Amino acid sequence: MHAPTDDHFRALKRILWYVKGIVHHGLQLHKVSSHNLFAYSDADWAGCPDTHRSTTGYAIFLGANLISWSSKKQNTVSRSSAEAEYRSLAVATADVVWLIQLLRDLQVPLPAPPRILCDNQSAIFSC
């Protein structure tokens, strides 16, 4: 900030150009009667080429509305894709538990238990 260069100015212009182009993008909230809670969890096993750590990602929906999401590098190196998925499921489950308590506090009834979904066959079959 104390000695900006032309490269800094070009980067700033590119960021402003990007923000201007996505100003109409955003999350859509739908009025739905369903209060079913769904969580989709995934991980890429050893996705970082430098540290070999996996990335955890999840998205949580209340009906058709996205209400929580995250993508974060895992703290430790997983020895298998199933282990990376377990870690991802654990993070998603912790957020789901917190959201259930929040919905209870707001007196929003859940008609069914939440569903947490993953796509890893090893993690699915060993549960």
> What's this model's pTM, rounded to 2 decimal places?
0.73
- Assigned domain for 57 exists: yes
Alpha-carbon distance 113 to 96, whole Å?
11
Total number of domains in the chain: 1
Residue 21 maps to a domain: no
Answer whether residue 46 is part of any domain: yes
Q: What's the average model confidence in pLDDT over 69-95?
A: 90
24 belongs to a structural domain:
no
Per-residue model confidence as pLDDT tens digits over 27-74: 778 887 788 999 999 998 888 888 888 999 999 999 989 999 999 988
Residue 99: CA atoms inside 13 Å, Cβ hemisphere, count? 24
Calpha distance 104→50 (Å, rounded): 43
Report residue 85 as tokens.
């998925």
Encoded tokens for 127: 């549960």
Query: Mean per-residue pLDDT for 66-90?
Result: 89
Is 16 a domain residue?
no
Domain range for 113 is 33-125
Structural domain contains residue 26: no
Which pLDDT belongs to residue 94?
96
Look at residue 12 and tell me if it is in a domain: no
Give me the helices (H) in the chain, please.
6-21, 81-105, 121-125
Q: Is residue 56 part of a domain?
A: yes
The CATH number that applies at residue 41 is 3.30.420.10
Angle at 49 between CA 86 and CA 68, to 5 degrees: 45
